Amino acid sequence: MKLTVGQAIVRFLAAQRSERDGVEHKLFEGCFGIFGHGNVAGIGEALLEAELADPAGLRYYQARNEQGMVHAASAFTRMRNRLSMLACTSSIGPGATNMVTGAALATVNRLPVLLLPGDVFATRVANPVLQELEDPRAGDVSVNDALRPVSRYFDRIWRPEQLPSALLGAVRVLTDPAETGAVTLALPQDVQAEAYEWPAELFAPRVWHVPRPVPEPAALARAVAAIRAARRPLIVAGGGVIYSEATDALRAFAEAAGVPVAETQAGKGSLPYDHAEAVGAVGATGTTAANALAREADVVIGIGTRYSDFTTASRTAFPEAQFINVNIAAFDSAKHAGHAITADARETLRALRQALAGWTTDATYREYAARLATEWDATVERAYHLGNRPLPAQSEVLGAVNEASAPRDVVVCAAGSMPGDLHKLWRTRDAKGYHIEYGYSCMGYEIAGGLGAKLAAPDRDVFVLVGDGSYLMMAQELVTAVQEQLKLIVVLVQNHGFASIARLSESVGAQRFGTAYRYRDASGRLTGHTLPTDLAANAESLGADVLRAHTVDELRSALAKAKASDRTTVVHIETDPLIDAPSSDAWWDVPVAEVSALDTTQAAREMYEQNKRAQQNYL
């Protein structure tokens, strides 16, 4: 069968399927693309030809920014528990390098995304071509090499003959839950348009079976012995619980064994917030309930977590614990010198429940955990309804959105102060209802991520929470949402600066330097009047409906209107950046200047050294 390389790629992707638990899924549901001279005659022509032949095949989605389209693809596959995904194609040069940040986010979060950037001429007859980076040390280098360290698999297709093995290698990694992340196939622009006689087998429907490795008996036995000896065990549920669709197994195990469940950012929603064993978020942005239990835990059962510094409060959260680590990836299961179980989360939880049948924690411990969780929920209720202030607190905005959302609706956020506040305050009712990108904490993910989440779950309302800082970095995919007639409810929080870093700056003695959006004053410092930026007007110019709220009551009314609408709606509200959410009673390690002329920095350094003494190596 004679096709160009671009046509062969599109036809191959359309024929792939994934399977887990006997259920098949279309593996590639579409392709985002921005076209230029590096891909328009290859992948671009192939997508056009495929659309004309079969509009339901590999659907093309137009994007506004290459980084944004990778973010949207990451959000899509996260909502689909990594069983379906999207490809992204760009032109050579800046289009390709724009995808580097998105690729890093996908790989950090273990999310499968296929990148198809255009590349230089393989023949080199026209070198240097437009947007080519010439390296005087090597003739085979291009800017796409910047994608190597942020990709789990990288190949450059210099010749058509190389394509079949590259495609199979790429999909192998994309469908491997232990290895997955961004995968890059760099495509020289002349090779994309080159024709070749392909074997028909390359385009036959192919099913990729996503495995559920069972725990090795000896590893399971060691874990069971450690749990049986525990008096104060604590489960830390990570994203792997949700990707493995292990939430029912977690609930059954926690109820049978009486073990409280704390959650990471990626694992939030593993249990409903009001479940008897749920104690909420753990770590630097956690609840006082989970963090109190963490300080006293003698065994921590980490399930599907990579133990980021936020989860461990920079290795101060679990001072007395030994670890049992259940993870599909050996790299993560081996962390903290724990008992490593390299296996699927659902299968391991089922095995643990069976092996521990009849064993349970002491009633006093269960009652203690429940009391702590109840106390924290009362704290959340107060934070949701502070009242009687000139400007609402951010916690009140989150409370209004939480109360306006239905149980299956999705909240999307990524960077700034809101993810931390959401982690501790959001009342999650559905395993896929909480979508916070905090592995890479990438400003600008929010609206693009909301677009991807809505593409993956069109039957759910998607609430995007975004601050003014992130909005200014990347709001363009509002246009794509409008174009595709996909309804997003975007809550745009205006606090005139970088609120999260302002708080952090203050905590390290740097006096909120460089974090407010202000004019320069007479002295030359950025401490003058607030900038007159009107982000609501900007959103309206991009095609979204806009509602302006000034109070929490007005916000509730606006959210109700947005919920009833079938169009993308941006709800704008200004908040007071100086009202903090309730404390987590936990620490995050951000170094403070060791010497300084500033009294504030000197005081912060003293506090830093005091906290640093509690840090452990977990050996």
pLDDT at 502: 86
Which two structure tokens, joined as six digits, stand for 300?
A: 């921590």
Residue 322: helix, strand or coil by DSSP? Answer: strand
Element (H, E) at 576: none
4 close to 149: Cβ distance less than 8 angstroms: no
Matching residue, tokens 């770590």: 283
Strand partners, 323: 300
Half-sphere exposure of 179 (CA within 13 A, CB side): 14
Residue spans of the chain under pLDDT 50? none
pLDDT at 12: 98
Strand partners, 90: 117
The domain defined by 217-375 carries CATH number 3.40.50.300: no
Helices and strands counted in the chain (H then E): 23, 23
Strands (E), 419-477: 434-436, 462-467
Query: CATH assignment of 386-496+531-574?
Result: 3.40.50.970
State the Cα–Cα distance between residues 291 and 285, nearest whole angstrom: 10
Biggest CA–CA distance in the chain, Å, is 77
State the Cα–Cα distance between residues 250 and 168, nearest whole angstrom: 34
Which two structure tokens, joined as six digits, stand for 433?
A: 């209802």
What are the φ and ψ backbone dihedral angles of 554, each rounded to 5 degrees? -65, -35
pLDDT tens across 194-227, in order?
999 999 999 999 999 999 999 999 999 999 999 9
pLDDT at 56: 83
Taking each helix axis from N to C end, the angle separating 445-456 and 66-79, rounded to the nearest 10 degrees, works out to 40
Domain(s) labelled CATH 3.40.50.1220 in the chain stretch across 217-375
pLDDT at 474: 96
Domain(s) labelled CATH 3.40.50.970 in the chain stretch across 2-209, 386-496+531-574
Q: Are strands 545-549 and 206-209 parallel, antiparallel or unpaired?
A: unpaired
Class of domain 2-209: alpha beta
pLDDT at 500: 84
Residue 459: helix, strand or coil by DSSP? Answer: coil
